[in-house]
């Protein structure tokens, strides 16, 4: 690559830094030793500077705003407008759906956890009224059958005792379920 004709073809790319590293090294070594190629490189650089200085740069103030306003005036198809609307409202819809789903999950968990207790509370009043003695006495003994032995069957003319009897004493809970025959 020592020939001046070959080096002079590479002076433009050399000045712009577009050559491979090994080519840049060879051209630089040749320019240092050859005055004719060094003068050609200096002429090439002065020509580039002269060309850049002869052109006046256009004024770019407001260029971006002008381009954006022209883009906005271009009519968009209906599907593009619809997609823009969905993209803008998509975040709100997603937030609403997640909020509703969370509320529904909380309601289901509440029903699942509270239902057994509510069932017990609502049916407790019915059990207490069914277990209340029919003859006006409020104690547990009146609801129990008056037999000497719990294994003796009651006659058909005796009233059947309640299946469940509860005590009215607030400090003690007594539940009596008679033996089944």
Which one, of 7, 5, 3, lies nearest residue 15 by Cα? 7
Look at residue 123 in the predicted model and tell me its pLDDT: 67
Q: What is residue 132's DSSP assignment?
A: S
**pLDDT tens track for 117-133:** 776 666 665 555 555 55
**Tally of CA atoms within 13 A in the half-sphere of 180 that contains its CB:** 2
pTM of the model: 0.32
Q: What is the pLDDT confidence band of residue 152, given thresholds at 50, 70 and 90?
A: very low
* pLDDT computed for residue 173 by the predictor: 66
- SS3 state at 158: coil
For 92-118, b where at least 16 C-beta lie within 10 A, e where not — what string? eeeeeeeeeeeeeeeeeeeeeeeeeee
List, as own/partner pairs, every contact residues 41-45 make where C-beta atoms lie below 8 angstroms and the sequence separation is at least 24, other chains included.
41/11, 41/14, 41/15, 44/11, 44/12, 44/15, 45/15
Contact status, residue 32 vs residue 4, Cβ threshold 8 Å: no
């Amino acid at each position: 690559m020592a020939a001046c004709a070959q080096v002079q073809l590479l002076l433009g790319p050399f000045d712009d830094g577009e050559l491979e590293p090994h080519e840049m090294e060879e051209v630089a070594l040749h320019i240092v030793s050859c005055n004719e190629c060094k003068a050609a490189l200096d002429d090439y650089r002065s020509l580039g500077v002269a060309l850049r200085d002869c052109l006046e740069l256009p004024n770019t103030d407001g260029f971006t705003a002008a381009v954006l306003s022209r883009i906005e005036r271009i009519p968009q198809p209906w599907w593009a407008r619809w997609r823009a609307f969905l993209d803008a409202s998509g975040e709100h819809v997603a937030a609403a759906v997640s909020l509703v789903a969370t509320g529904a999950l909380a309601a289901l968990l509440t029903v699942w956890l509270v239902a057994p207790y509510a069932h017990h509370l609502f049916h407790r009043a019915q059990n207490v009224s069914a277990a209340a003695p029919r003859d006006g006495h409020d104690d547990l003994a009146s609801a129990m059958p008056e037999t000497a032995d719990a294994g003796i069957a009651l006659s058909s003319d005796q009233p059947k005792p309640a299946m469940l009897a509860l005590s009215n004493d607030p400090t003690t809970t007594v539940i009596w379920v008679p033996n089944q025959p």
